[in-house]
């Protein structure tokens, strides 16, 4: 990765609901069109032990069982995206956690529609398609959890001509 303080990497997961709905291509396309580079990608079927590692901040909370059930119900597409201010850019593109609150133009606002009221009443986790690291520190920790060093690639894209 370039030694520029503004170049970052972030973890993005297309959760089982996004994979099952066939939205992988649409979601990746949005990131690529924004100039973010795919530095790593793989499909993983998360087991309960790994779910506890990824969602360690939520284990023990009342909603955790539904969260674990959701993330383990099908394959997840895990990606490392790289670019200028990648963490903040991806979070802005993804939108708020609750799709009902996500504005049009965001991934969740355009492609998801669950609300906390609905999912709480049903006793299920919110289907919001995607996970994105919340900050630089979390991104680094999550990337190290999901990817080994040899699964992350460095290369140049045409977008980099316009950035540097």
CB atoms within 10 A of CB 129: 24
Residue 1, pLDDT above cutoff 60? no
**Model pLDDT, residue 4:** 77
- Per residue in 104-133, pLDDT tens? 999 999 999 999 999 889 888 899 999 999
Domains of the chain: which residue ranges?
8-151
DSSP class of residue 91? Answer: H
Q: Give me the CATH topology for the region 8-151.
A: Alpha-Beta Plaits (3.30.70)
Structure pTM? 0.93
Q: Do the beta carbons of residue 21 and residue 74 sit within 8 Å?
A: no
Residue 161 pLDDT grade (very low, low, confident, very high; cuts 50, 70, 90): confident
- Cite the active site residues: 131
Range with lowest mean pLDDT among 2-6, 70-74, 93-97, 156-160: 2-6
- Per residue in 7-65, pLDDT tens? 999 999 999 999 999 999 999 999 999 999 999 999 999 999 999 999 999 999 988 99
């Amino acid at each position: 990765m370039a030694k520029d303080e503004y170049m970052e990497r972030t973890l993005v997961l297309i959760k089982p609901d996004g994979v099952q709905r066939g939205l992988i291509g649409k979601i990746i396309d949005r990131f690529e069109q924004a100039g973010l580079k795919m530095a790593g990608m793989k499909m993983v079927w998360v087991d309960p032990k790994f779910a506890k590692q990824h969602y360690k901040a939520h284990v023990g909370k009342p909603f955790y069982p539904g969260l674990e059930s959701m993330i383990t119900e099908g394959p997840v597409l895990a990606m490392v995206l790289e670019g200028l201010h990648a963490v903040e850019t991806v979070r802005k593109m993804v939108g708020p956690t609750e799709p009902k609150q996500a504005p049009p133009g965001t991934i969740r606002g355009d492609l998801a529609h669950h609300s906390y009221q609905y999912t709480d009443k049903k006793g299920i986790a919110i289907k919001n398609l995607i996970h994105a690291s919340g900050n630089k520190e979390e991104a680094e920790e999550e990337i190290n959890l999901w990817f080994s060093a040899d699964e992350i690639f460095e290369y140049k894209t045409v977008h980099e001509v316009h950035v540097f």
